[in-house]
Amino acid sequence: MKIQAERLLGDLHRLRDFGRTGNGVVRPSYSDVDMAAREWLRQRFTDAGLNATVDGVGNVFGTSPNTGPALVLGSHSDTQPRGGWLDGALGVIYALEVARALAEDSTTRDFAVDVAAWVDEEGTYTSCLGSRSFVDDLPGEVLAHANDDGETVVAALARVGLADAGRATMDLDRHIGYLEAHIEQGPYLEEAGDLIGVVTSIVGIRSTQVEFTGEQNHAGTTPMNRRRDAGVAMFEFAVRLRERFSAIAGPTTVWTIGQAQLEPGAASIIPGYAVAQVQYRDPDDDRLATLETVVSEIAAEVAAATGVMVLATRERDPILPCHMDPEFRRHFTTAAEAKVPGMWREMPSAAGHDPMVISQYLPCAMMFIPSIGGISHDFAEDSNEADIVMGCAVMADAAASILHAARSSTTPIAPRANPPGHSG
Amino acid sequence: MKIQAERLLGDLHRLRDFGRTGNGVVRPSYSDVDMAAREWLRQRFTDAGLNATVDGVGNVFGTSPNTGPALVLGSHSDTQPRGGWLDGALGVIYALEVARALAEDSTTRDFAVDVAAWVDEEGTYTSCLGSRSFVDDLPGEVLAHANDDGETVVAALARVGLADAGRATMDLDRHIGYLEAHIEQGPYLEEAGDLIGVVTSIVGIRSTQVEFTGEQNHAGTTPMNRRRDAGVAMFEFAVRLRERFSAIAGPTTVWTIGQAQLEPGAASIIPGYAVAQVQYRDPDDDRLATLETVVSEIAAEVAAATGVMVLATRERDPILPCHMDPEFRRHFTTAAEAKVPGMWREMPSAAGHDPMVISQYLPCAMMFIPSIGGISHDFAEDSNEADIVMGCAVMADAAASILHAARSSTTPIAPRANPPGHSG
């Protein structure tokens, strides 16, 4: 496939203008700049020959005039409160450019590529709102979620004039899968000198809250051997956690204690209570289960060692690892090997993306390009122009290849509902 | 000396009624109940033959009609926000009862015992306010200190009608020293089965703030080996601190991390900054200096081990250990051995008291009685009645013995100003 580099980069830069702040972008869902960007995208999708709307949840959805089997390509066009310019935007413009490239090539002009710019993947109101709408999983409690200003999704949709618009949802008779490109947001590709990452899985996330209940007391008059210091227990827990997790971690396991508090939190008072939040991510749910068990083991050890009560409570709704479609992955690895031989790798995604939602209903694939310095969710987020262009070319080849296979196949790829690993 | 147990306990219970809440007392400085209690104390001091006033800072001070050499006996009558009934009150009523007992005994009726009920030892406005007034160390910035409601000392004194009252201050031609009895507020006496603690020193307190500056980052996409997690460094610091301090602690060294925070404190963000407050107490200032050095050493070790910047900053104004007068201590140990042979001990005070201020100008001694369960600063604070009575008898004997020695001596005990250990 032949993509047009100037058109691709031009559209990316034009989209960046909506909410540009320094080198970054401030374009939270349903803000004025977000809605202006969506209207611009709708027009760009229309210019590409797609039947495009801003739908009843704010998704920009462009349907190819061609009949299926169709692929949906896309990403989200909202940003973090202080976001980078490529997070989300790259995948949206890639999708648009791939649709244009296939339409312009005589061998693929009949292929159907529908293009999406999802709303609120970043969770200004609620994470992956647009993709949840697309798979028609929008219960009332999701629409009641509010942003930091207290505005609910329902109120935001009324404010931006979408309260009565219809919603674009997946069509299992037409859609055979969903593809998304994204910046890596991590350092692996750049460090390895690779240009393409073919995503194997999106990692699962589990969290355990660990509470320590000791005895609050006077920091002067209480001898060391009479103390049951909740803080001491928490510190001991944290150090043991690092030792034990290091020993059993997989190559991409990560874990973090991002929250830790002492109560009452005064210099002259022995903490009677402490609480820490342990979060751990891995593409392998079995490993996550092992890590979770280890957290409880360490909690019990620390309780025994310190005399402090330790209560480990797992989060009610962990995010399960979500696996990319093996057949789709082969099309991507073949396309990558053809374009950048030996300079690609298969890898998990350590961050969450809309395919976590969509893969519960449709086969999905994801592709990464390198992030400079691994930086993301920051104004400094960037990728090399040459890498951006190369990534789009690989994406176009993979999409064409998948659609070619689907059209040749006598048995169309079956959509799947509630595969193993579905958390709902 | 013969003390009157019923009178002693009756006065203690009457004082408890001012602000009694459950088994505890809520009688913060300059509250209505505090001022009512002070007026009652002034009357009780007067009934005992003392020339008593509520002075210009709120201290109740009763001067014996006898000529010097005179001892000042006392403690504070204000309480913690949710205080116990004996903290402070015990020492005030002991002082009153000792003054009465000596006045009633033919062998001591000429001895001079002045009695004090200091204000705001607990620091509702500013710690040891009353004793600072007594030693005439009340700079304007101290009087500008405010309580949690924003009322300054000056405003409180105007409110309670003391703005124009004179202040009772020490008279170095008359006062040869200060004695204070207190509940232990710790478990040592009870655990050892001892009834009297003769205080050797009031422990010094040093604090070090330890700041950890790493790199804030995404808790999913940042590999473990690329992290500079400020929280990990803080946890490691805390555990090493415990190991190292345990190895070099003296018999009464205590240390506490009572405050610890992670920034930004979100489950999905690697902490870029953390800060912990380390407080350590010991009667030996050399040991405190050693501990302070060890804190800095551990900080450097953790920085080297984790790649996180660690900055240890010592508190500007540490509280130096304050030593009780050796001669006075001998009078107390002799009195204790006579009354409760073998059931007393010498021990440091792990909590702060007004003698920290007064000992900079006058020789001081302190005496403890057992606290049930070591509990203090709590409604549950209590001591056995028999222990309360016995403690007062020992105090009376020691006071009589000191005054007897002073009156017999051709060279009166010299008051001291700015002895070694003065922090001002």
For residues A139 and B302, give the distance between their C-alpha atoms in angstroms, rounded to a whole number: 49
Q: How confident is the model over B338-357, as a mean pLDDT? A: 96
Count CB atoms within 10 A of the CB of residue B22: 10
A13 and A141 part of one domain:
yes
Question: Which residues lie below 8 Å from residue A264, measured CB to CB, with a gap of 6+?
Answer: A216, A271, A272
CATH number for the domain spanning A124: value is 3.40.630.10
Which of A321, A348, A347 lies closest to A205, judged by CA?
A321
Nearest residue of chain A to residue B348 (CA atoms): A221
Kindly list the residues from chain A whose CB atom is less than 8 angstroms away from the CB atom of residue B313. none
Which of B142, B182, B138 lies closest to B324, judged by CA?
B182
Partners of A197 in beta bridges: A345, A368
Instruction: Tell me the HSE value of B121 on the side-chain side, using a 13 A CA sphere.
Output: 29
Which of A317, A227, A234 lies closest to A275, judged by CA?
A234
How far away is chain A from the Cα of B220, in angstroms, using its nearest Cα? 5
Nearest residue of chain B to residue A219 (CA atoms): B256
Residue A61 lies in a domain: yes
Count CB atoms within 10 A of the CB of residue A187: 19
Which of A100, A45, A383, A260 lies closest to B235, judged by CA?
A260
Asked if A226 is an interface residue toward chain B (Cβ–Cβ < 8 A), one would say yes
Q: How confident is the model over A368-387, as a mean pLDDT? A: 92
User: What is the DSSP secondary-structure string of A153-186?
Assistant: HHHHHHHTT-TT-------TTTEEEEEEEEE--S
Domain boundary (A314, A339, A363) is at: A314
For residues B39 and B165, give the distance between their C-alpha atoms in angstroms, rounded to a whole number: 14
pLDDT (0 to 100) of residue B416: 53
Kindly list the residues from chain B whose CB atom is less than 8 angstroms away from the CB atom of residue A205. 220
Best residue in A127, A189, A221, A273 for a mutation probing chain B (most B CBs within 10 Å):
A221
pLDDT at A251 over 80: yes
Instruction: Give the lowest-confidence range in A373-382, B65-74, B185-194, B407-416.
Output: B407-416
Q: Which two tokens stand for residue B200?
A: 């050797």
Instruction: Tell me the HSE value of A326 on the side-chain side, using a 13 A CA sphere.
Output: 0
The runs of H, that is alpha helices, within B18-145 are: 32-47, 89-104, 129-134, 140-143
Q: Which two tokens stand for residue A245?
A: 């997790």
B353 and B400 part of one domain:
yes
B residues 152..191 contacting A (CB < 8 A)? 184-188
Tracing tokens 């081990």 back to the chain, one arrives at B305
Q: Which two tokens stand for residue B39?
A: 């007026």
A133 and A241 part of one domain:
no
Q: How confident is the model over B116-134, as a mean pLDDT? A: 96
A21 and A170 part of one domain:
yes
pLDDT at A410 over 60: no
How far away is chain A from the Cα of B47, in angstroms, using its nearest Cα? 36
For residues A240 and B59, give the distance between their C-alpha atoms in angstroms, rounded to a whole number: 53
Asked if A261 is an interface residue toward chain B (Cβ–Cβ < 8 A), one would say yes
Q: How many domains does chain A have?
A: 2
B36 and B153 part of one domain:
yes
Percent of chain B scored above 70 by pLDDT?
96
Question: Dihedrals φ, ψ of A176, to 5°?
Answer: -100, -5
Structural domain for A307, as ranges: 204-314
CATH number for the domain spanning A255: value is 3.30.70.360
pLDDT (0 to 100) of residue A306: 96
Asked if B270 is an interface residue toward chain A (Cβ–Cβ < 8 A), one would say yes
B125 and B268 part of one domain:
no
Q: Note whether B199 and B92 are within 8 A (CB).
A: no
Kindly list the residues from chain B whose CB atom is less than 8 angstroms away from the CB atom of residue A352. 220
A140 and A231 part of one domain:
no
pLDDT (0 to 100) of residue A413: 53
What does the pLDDT look like over A95-142, one tens digit per residue? Answer: 999 999 999 999 999 999 999 999 999 999 999 999 999 999 999 999
Percent of chain A scored above 90 by pLDDT?
88
pLDDT at A416 over 80: no
Q: How confident is the model over A239-255, as a mean pLDDT? A: 96
pLDDT (0 to 100) of residue A409: 80
Q: How confident is the model over B309-335, as a mean pLDDT? A: 94
How far away is chain B from the Cα of A283, in angstroms, using its nearest Cα? 11
Q: How confident is the model over B295-314, as a mean pLDDT? A: 97
How far away is chain B from the Cα of A230, in angstroms, using its nearest Cα? 10
Secondary structure class of A310 (helix, strand, coil): strand
Q: How confident is the model over A387-403, as a mean pLDDT? A: 98
B338 and B325 part of one domain:
yes
Asked if A366 is an interface residue toward chain B (Cβ–Cβ < 8 A), one would say no
Secondary structure class of A60 (helix, strand, coil): strand
What does the pLDDT look like over A51-85, one tens digit per residue? Answer: 999 999 999 999 999 998 999 999 999 998 888 99
Asked if B377 is an interface residue toward chain A (Cβ–Cβ < 8 A), one would say yes
What does the pLDDT look like over A17-35, one tens digit per residue? Answer: 999 999 999 999 999 999 9
Percent of chain A scored above 70 by pLDDT?
96
For residues A8 and A4, give the distance between their C-alpha atoms in angstroms, rounded to a whole number: 6
What does the pLDDT look like over B289-304, one tens digit per residue? Answer: 999 999 999 999 999 9
Nearest residue of chain A to residue B204 (CA atoms): A220
pLDDT (0 to 100) of residue A375: 85
pLDDT at B421 over 80: no
Cis peptide before A28 (omega within 30 of 0): no
Within its chain, how far is the Cα of A145 from the centroid? Answer: 19
Domain boundary (A287, A314, A341) is at: A314
Give me the residue from B262, B267, B377 closest to A207, CB to CB: B267
Secondary structure class of A345 (helix, strand, coil): strand
For residues A47 and A9, give the distance between their C-alpha atoms in angstroms, rounded to a whole number: 17
How far away is chain A from the Cα of B291, in angstroms, using its nearest Cα? 15
What does the pLDDT look like over A325-350, one tens digit per residue? Answer: 999 999 999 999 999 999 999 999 99
Residue A101 lies in a domain: yes
How far away is chain B from the Cα of A59, in angstroms, using its nearest Cα? 26
Secondary structure class of B255 (helix, strand, coil): strand
Q: Note whether B40 and B14 are within 8 A (CB).
A: yes
Kindly list the residues from chain A whose CB atom is less than 8 angstroms away from the CB atom of residue B185. 218, 221
Asked if B80 is an interface residue toward chain A (Cβ–Cβ < 8 A), one would say no
Residue A10 lies in a domain: yes
In the DSSP assignment, the letter for residue B173 is: T
A73 and A182 part of one domain:
yes
Sign of the CA dihedral running A195, A200, A202, A206:
negative
Kindly list the residues from chain A whose CB atom is less than 8 angstroms away from the CB atom of residue B254. 219-220, 222-224
A224 and A94 part of one domain:
no
Residue A421 lies in a domain: no
For residues A187 and A260, give the distance between their C-alpha atoms in angstroms, rounded to a whole number: 27
B173 and B68 part of one domain:
yes
> Do residue B186 and residue A221 have CB atoms under 8 angstroms apart?
yes
For residues A348 and A288, give the distance between their C-alpha atoms in angstroms, rounded to a whole number: 14
pLDDT (0 to 100) of residue B300: 98
pLDDT at B419 over 70: no
Q: Which two tokens stand for residue B364?
A: 């001081």
Q: Which two tokens stand for residue A107?
A: 């061998």
Question: Dihedrals φ, ψ of B244, to 5°?
Answer: -70, -45
pLDDT (0 to 100) of residue A166: 96
pLDDT (0 to 100) of residue B266: 86
Q: Note whether B179 and B285 are within 8 A (CB).
A: no
Give me the residue from B185, B220, B249 closest to A218, CB to CB: B185
Asked if A251 is an interface residue toward chain B (Cβ–Cβ < 8 A), one would say no
Residue B257 lies in a domain: yes
User: What is the DSSP secondary-structure string of A216-277?
Assistant: -EETTTS-GGG---HHHHHHHHHHHHHHHHHHH--TT-EEEEEEEEEES--TTEE-SEEEEE
> Do residue A232 and residue B238 have CB atoms under 8 angstroms apart?
yes
pLDDT (0 to 100) of residue A422: 39
> Do residue A252 and residue B205 have CB atoms under 8 angstroms apart?
no
Mean pLDDT, rounded, of chain A: 94
Instruction: Tell me the HSE value of B78 on the side-chain side, using a 13 A CA sphere.
Output: 28
B146 and B215 part of one domain:
no
Q: Note whether A144 and A153 are within 8 A (CB).
A: yes
Given the cut 0.85, state whether the ipTM is greater than it. Answer: no
Q: Note whether A409 and A170 are within 8 A (CB).
A: no
Residue A308 lies in a domain: yes
Q: How confident is the model over A284-300, as a mean pLDDT? A: 97
For residues A250 and B408, give the distance between their C-alpha atoms in angstroms, rounded to a whole number: 83
For residues B364 and B402, give the distance between their C-alpha atoms in angstroms, rounded to a whole number: 11
Q: How confident is the model over B319-324, as a mean pLDDT? A: 94
For residues B67 and A289, give the distance between their C-alpha atoms in angstroms, rounded to a whole number: 81
Domain boundary (A291, A314, A337) is at: A314
Rg (CA), chain A: 24
Q: Note whether A207 and A259 are within 8 A (CB).
A: no
pLDDT (0 to 100) of residue A315: 87
Question: Which residues lie below 8 Å from residue A382, measured CB to CB, with a gap of 6+?
Answer: A23, A84, A85, A86, A371, A372, A375
pLDDT at A424 over 60: no
Question: Which residues lie below 8 Å from residue A410, measured CB to CB, with a gap of 6+?
Answer: none
Asked if A201 is an interface residue toward chain B (Cβ–Cβ < 8 A), one would say no
Asked if B246 is an interface residue toward chain A (Cβ–Cβ < 8 A), one would say yes
Count CB atoms within 10 A of the CB of residue A333: 18
What does the pLDDT look like over B208-222, one tens digit per residue? Answer: 999 999 998 889 989
Question: Which residues lie below 8 Å from residue A146, measured CB to CB, with a gap of 6+?
Answer: A125, A152, A153, A155
Residue A414 lies in a domain: no
> Do residue B376 and residue A271 have CB atoms under 8 angstroms apart?
no
Q: How confident is the model over B380-400, as a mean pLDDT? A: 97
What does the pLDDT look like over B232-270, one tens digit per residue? Answer: 999 999 999 999 999 999 999 999 999 999 998 888 889
Residue B423 lies in a domain: no
Asked if A253 is an interface residue toward chain B (Cβ–Cβ < 8 A), one would say yes
